[in-house]
């Protein structure tokens, strides 16, 4: 199993939305590196931290499971979508997505500030300068450290 961190702005799609929906396509990816990870590295059954980004208090807030193979993101062909890509060919789609399923909310949000302050997470990709990817793999040691933190007081 590979572990992941997947970011979403909570005003666009939050952990509460995923809990309500149960399952959703993780669409709108428009980065080739992430597209390649969806295609080549991610697998059904992998787990991901749901991370609220670009908000007042960025934080890891839940866990979800990857529940589909990669398949073409239909928003790339929808001229009314903010994710429309007029250069993407339906016969050879440029952008992919994966479906994810709600597993659980974390016992408490683990804020970026808290994650950055933890000395054992200094090399965690989320804490590195210049990390701009919305999806990235999480080493098992960091996955376990993050989940251990949810049981500790803030």
Does the pLDDT of residue 154 top 80, yes or no? no
Has residue 85 been placed in a domain? Answer: yes
Has residue 78 been placed in a domain? Answer: yes
Please answer whether residues 107 and 60 qualify as being in contact, where contact means their C-beta atoms are separated by less than 8 angstroms.
Answer: no
- How, if at all, do strands 3-8 and 47-52 pair? parallel
* CATH code of the domain containing 118: 3.10.590.10
Has residue 24 been placed in a domain? Answer: yes
Per-residue pLDDT, 153: 82
* 43-92 pLDDT per residue, tens: 999 999 999 999 999 999 999 999 999 999 999 999 999 999 999 999 99
* 1-24 pLDDT per residue, tens: 899 999 999 999 999 999 999 999
Output the average pLDDT for the chain.
96
Structural domain that includes position 7 = 3-149
Has residue 154 been placed in a domain? Answer: no
Has residue 141 been placed in a domain? Answer: yes
Has residue 69 been placed in a domain? Answer: yes
Please answer whether residues 52 and 8 qualify as being in contact, where contact means their C-beta atoms are separated by less than 8 angstroms.
Answer: yes
The structural domain count of the chain equals 1
- How, if at all, do strands 23-26 and 59-66 pair? unpaired
What's the mean pLDDT in 110-125? 95
């Amino acid at each position: 199993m590979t572990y992941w961190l997947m970011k979403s702005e909570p005003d666009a799609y939050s952990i509460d939305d995923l809990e309500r929906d149960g399952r959703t396509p993780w669409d709108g990816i428009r980065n080739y590196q992430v597209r390649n990870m969806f295609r080549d590295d991610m697998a059904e059954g992998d787990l991901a931290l749901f991370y609220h980004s670009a908000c007042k208090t960025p934080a890891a807030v839940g866990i979800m499971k990857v529940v589909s193979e990669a398949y073409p993101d239909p928003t790339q062909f929808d001229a009314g979508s903010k994710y429309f890509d007029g250069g993407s060919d339906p016969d050879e789609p440029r952008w992919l997505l994966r479906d994810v399923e709600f597993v659980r909310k974390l016992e408490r949000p683990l804020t970026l500030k808290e994650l950055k302050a933890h000395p054992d997470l200094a090399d965690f990709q989320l804490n590195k300068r210049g990390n701009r990817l919305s999806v990235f793999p999480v080493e098992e040691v960091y996955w376990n450290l993050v989940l251990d933190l949810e049981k500790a007081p803030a």
